[in-house]
Amino acid sequence: MAIPRIRGLLSKLYVQVLIGIVAGVLLGHYAPDIGQQMKPLGDIFIKLIKMLLAPIIFASVVVGIARMNNVQQAGRVGAKAFIYFEIASTLALGIGMLVVNVFQPGVGMNIDPAKLDASAITSYTQKAQQHGVLDFIMGIVPNSVVGAFANGDMLPIIFFSILLAVALAKIGPRTAPFVDMLDMFLQGMFGVVRLVMYVAPIGAFGGMAFTIAKYGIGTLSSLGMLILCLYLTSGVFIVVVLGSVMRLCGLSLWQFCRYIKDEILITLGTASTEAVLPQMLVKLERMGCAKPVVGMVLPTGYTFNADGTAIYLTMAALFIAQAMNIHLTFWDQALILGVLLLTSKGSAGVAGAGFVALAATLASMHKIPVAGLVLLLGVDRFLTEVRALTNLIGNGVATIAVAKWEGALDMDRARAVLSGELAAVQHEVAVEDGQHPAAARDTALGQLSH
């Protein structure tokens, strides 16, 4: 009896990913030379997912908005999403600033800016020069739609997708065959994602082995206070802020995290939320969020709602100032907060984007030396993991909140799926077998009542 149970457990994706993470940590620690050579495994997995992101985001946004058949409804959903994103980002930035002022993890390091070697961060500072507010706004509009798809530039793709979707919605029913074709294409892309996810444990293994091998577990001790503060702050934000949002929606944050445990572990192993975007689209729709809302809010949230990155940016900026004994007044910190509200937008879900946003923030301030980023290089990967996890959960909760606000969340379905009731699974089977969704839902809910 034990062997079949073990086999059943090992067949679960989250268990396989967890095994890959543990194996990667052990290999990176005890055989660092071999561990560093595992980097291509993680990179290939990320590239496989990124290969699919542009078509999936395009089709999701277009199908979602076009099927609203109401431009005003699309605008209303977008406005609600934007309001939620701004409130959540501001709270994240404020909480990060509060914690770093209370615990002051950088105080006592007494770093001399003149002795820092800024050559290691040249690539980040160069990218930061194109990360100003005007550059961000100009970057939304692509020079070429084809170029945006070829380069995988998410903001221009989302912008073009929204324009096309609104145009299709205004034309009306005549566009239904084209939208249906895009929907079929989207389902095909999700099929490819399911194939790619078979190698997720290998990608998590490679990414973790390289991280531990290159930076070492010992690296954590030198900047342990900052890491501890960031992890605790992110945990508090998830439990208190996001937990409160879920309670207002009438759902459990714990159950939601358990529902997306595969995606959480993959994000932990790869330090990238983009790696699980396709799966998140499917799971949020499956738990009862209306497809138009999911298709519009989740991809947009990846660009405009990076809660974990917001926490990291405030804490990292003030940590560098503390380490260099740079006194910042209340108004200096308020200015940093205002700048971060802009520079934190557009940070992608791939490791390194937050570092570029931080470089852009420091460069615009002219008070904290950009060379201070060198202090974070050794532990940035470990910091990236927790902010990626916070971004993942935050965007999932944002989509649920907007769907609830819009009245586009099937609460009975959501509770059934998140609680893991058998009826929810039977509902899926019934729908796949061709039973009408409403009838299948009624059947499932009837079984729940018994």
Domains and CATH numbers, the chain: 2-73+80-419 (1.10.3860.10)
Q: Give the range with max mean pLDDT: 230-239, 297-306, 311-320, 338-347.
A: 230-239
Residue type, 449: S
- CA distances (Å), 380 to each of 61, 235, 297, in order? 32, 18, 28
DSSP tag of 289: B
Q: What is the pLDDT of residues 39-95, one digit of tens each?
A: 888 888 878 877 887 888 788 778 877 777 666 777 888 889 889 988 998 898 889
pLDDT given at position 366: 67
Distance CA 347, CA 351 (A): 10
pLDDT given at position 448: 42
Q: What is the pLDDT of residues 406-424, one digit of tens each?
A: 998 999 999 999 987 644 4
CB contact at 8 A, 314 and 423? no
Angle at 279 between CA 278 and CA 281, to 5 degrees: 65
Outline where DSSP puts E strands in 234-350.
none
Q: What is the pLDDT of residues 374-415, one digit of tens each?
A: 777 656 667 778 888 999 999 999 999 999 999 989 999 999
Dihedral sign computed on CA atoms, order 62, 68, 73, 77: negative
**Tokens 């798809």 correspond to what residue?**
149
Distance CA 36, CA 403 (A): 43
- CA distances (Å), 155 to each of 56, 136, 143, in order? 14, 9, 12
The closest alpha carbon to 344, from 104, 46, 56, 88, belongs to: 88
Distance CA 191, CA 347 (A): 28
pLDDT given at position 190: 79
